[in-house]
Structure 1
């Protein structure tokens, strides 16, 4: 068992740019793709992941540094270090039972496909660490309540539920994602899209305001304001504003403007590589499934970066940075200083999907969403720090706490980790869980209705 765990951890530790293309290569060959086409698509997918990672790192080093300068100018001291998602992943993989999560995810996916409870093949196996993260938080919170063994069992039950919900989220979002990205047969199975359930009730209210219910994606903005809606121009303007607020000199301000313009201009270019890689694989899988399962369509679920070509996402990501810093300063109970997680994709991608790229509503929703990330990041800090120290996965100074200001699916993870603390008088997770569940139900219903309506409309056109 220890050997199996070592092998699984070694493979997964190769990282998404190696591991995910490898899975897609195997999937392509399994559905009879030509070897040269499958290899080409897999390598292109790896290049796309590396390119997206490089650009995000570039943004973090340039814009993140300016954000920290802005925070330093306030003189505010927040005690919890923001280690970002990479630190959370390292801590998660160090959990003693981490190796068991990979076969659990694969097994559940296979069973659900066979029983026709999902049409999504989750190829995002590298992000299995997200289930590990949930599981070890569950153990940390519930062991004092139930004891060690029952808490461990409960952790894997909740992780299994998360696996099932990721497949369900992939199913219900696939049609809208295909409309937004133009990539057929692909969906997102990353847990970050769970946060759409929190956004949904607020977005329903925002839609009732006429000014907020008009087309306001990148294309619509270009028609209204011309060059000022171009990616590189938006990036340059935002970079200049950030530089001025951070107190940079003229040369540094201009350089930050050009760096931000570079990032926003290159993101759509990198996104095209995802389309180039994923389209032939998804088409091969669909063709294979149609031959063997008449009328059944299989979707491929992967991480969010294939949606990274949407200008709306990056506009909202940058605008959300000062919003996050303001909330960090004024939010009662927050102890985390946003740093490594300042480029908060998990805050924006669900807003992009739920608003269909309406930039103004995306920004408003991000204002509503940031407090959830900060407060839950603060709540998780003791458990994350304790596991990090116990496993020596990360080097933490004595007396220092570490967490993440952009934990993926913060509400879902918090609710199902802290749910049973109601036995000790804490009913906040239970109430928040009800809110999340209701939001998810009605959001899922809307997505299903949209898919059926579009299908009926396309059939009418054909007739």
Structure 2
């Protein structure tokens, strides 16, 4: 057993850029593709993830210091740095829940498919770490390993349902037919965008506002070209950070590079995944007639959309401002700033590329993520300590990605209640959003069938 767990741990430690190509290669061979095509798909996906890592590193290395400088300039003082998903995922994989989380998530998926409770066939093994994080936090909060495993199963089941509910959006707006996103970041905040969309549709005047970069580019020409918009936003952030002329201009060019390069590297992932997903979907539908399946993939596929990239850059300063407004906030957004696209990608699709609505939803999302992550600091710190990642005994850690997940917070509070008012407020609001999503999703499927 120890040997098997050791092999699984070694496999996980390879990281997404190596782990996913291996998974895709195995899946492709099982689906009957030639070895050459399977290798090509795997390498293409690996290239894409390396590329995304480089672009995110470009953002992290340049935007994060600018964000800190902005905070200092405006007198925003926070004593905890958001470590982001790059910090949270390794400590999650080091937890005693993690290795069991992968088979648990796969078994849950198979059971739901057999019972026709989901159409999602999830092959996004790496992002099971989100489910494992919930399980690890519950394990720490309750002291019960069994409850931790149950939390993994609940989170996995909910993620697959999120994949179902938003598959029409992935197809209609992003053009990815047969693909679903049962992702732990994009997924759990997506229902909020449905709720916001419904509210805005009922407000005269407001419902007619549509800031879409594609529409704006037709009206204002080159000024709204993605590269130029990226440069403008970089310059504005540099000015707010108090940089000199050289620093401002450099940041402008760097952000223009980000907004242009992200869609390019995402295409490599798509070129590797799409042929396999199409074969898998076709074979499943042939075997199970009258059934439609969706292949569950990483939401990195959505990051190439120009509105997603534009909104991601806009939310750098917006998130800093929101952090200053959240009551009792101790966390300075940092590690997750370059990956805010994961938080709001599905909202862009739900809002049909309307940047105005995306900014409203995203602001609510970031407010909730920051507030929830503050409530999770104690448990998050224990998770880091158990993984041996604390620099000293008094250090604390927090993250917006997964640490700020309403699903993780609700499950943990139900099983180990420490804040009944917080549970009631977040729980009721989130349940309303999910109910709205279920109703809305049925309409989306109906429109697809026409």
Query: Does TM-score exceed 0.5, indicating one fold?
Result: yes
| Residue 44 (structure 1) shift | 0.8
Partner of 1:179: 172
TM-score, normalisation: structure 2: 0.94
| Residue 5 (structure 1) shift | 1.7
Does structure 1 residue 263 correspond to structure 2 residue 258? yes
Q: CA distance change for structure 1 residues 341 and 248 in 2, over 3 Å: closer, same or farther?
A: same
Within-5 A mapping of 1:109-128:
109-128=109-128
| Residue 56 (structure 1) shift | 1.2
Select between 254-263 and 350-359 the one with higher mean Cα deviation: 350-359
Does structure 1 residue 169 correspond to structure 2 residue 169? no
Q: Which runs of 5+ in 2 are unaligned?
A: none
Taking the aligned partners of 2:206 and 2:367, their CA distance within structure 1 comes to 25
| Residue 2 (structure 1) shift | 2.4
TM-score, normalisation: structure 1: 0.91
Partner of 2:401: 406
Q: Which runs of 5+ in 1 are unaligned?
A: 457-463
Partner of 2:5: 5
Does structure 1 residue 197 correspond to structure 2 residue 177? no
Partner of 1:360: 356
Within-5 A mapping of 1:115-154:
115-141=115-141, 143=142, 148=143, 151-154=144-147
| Residue 215 (structure 1) shift | 4.8
Taking the aligned partners of 1:414 and 1:342, their CA distance within structure 2 comes to 21
Select between 428-437 and 85-94 the one with higher mean Cα deviation: 428-437
Partner of 1:369: 365
Partner of 2:267: 272
Q: Is the 8 A contact 1:197 1:437 kept in 2?
A: no
Partner of 1:461: none
Select between 261-270 and 205-214 the one with higher mean Cα deviation: 205-214
Q: Is the 8 A contact 1:44 1:274 kept in 2?
A: yes
| Residue 408 (structure 1) shift | 6.5
Partner of 2:422: 428
Equivalent position SS for 2:397: strand
Partner of 1:43: 43
Taking the aligned partners of 1:208 and 1:270, their CA distance within structure 2 comes to 39
Partner of 2:64: 64
**Count of residue correspondences:** 447
Q: Is the 8 A contact 2:209 2:356 kept in 1?
A: no
Q: Is the 8 A contact 1:166 1:189 kept in 2?
A: yes
| 1:290 corresponds to which of 282, 285, 305 | 285
| 1:155 corresponds to which of 148, 170, 177 | 148
User: Deviations 1:53-79 (Å, cap 9, x if unpaired)?
Assistant: 211111111222211111122344312
| Residue 276 (structure 1) shift | 1.6
Q: Is the 8 A contact 2:413 2:423 kept in 1?
A: yes
Equivalent position SS for 1:407: coil
Taking the aligned partners of 1:395 and 1:246, their CA distance within structure 2 comes to 29
Within-5 A mapping of 1:373-388:
373-388=369-384
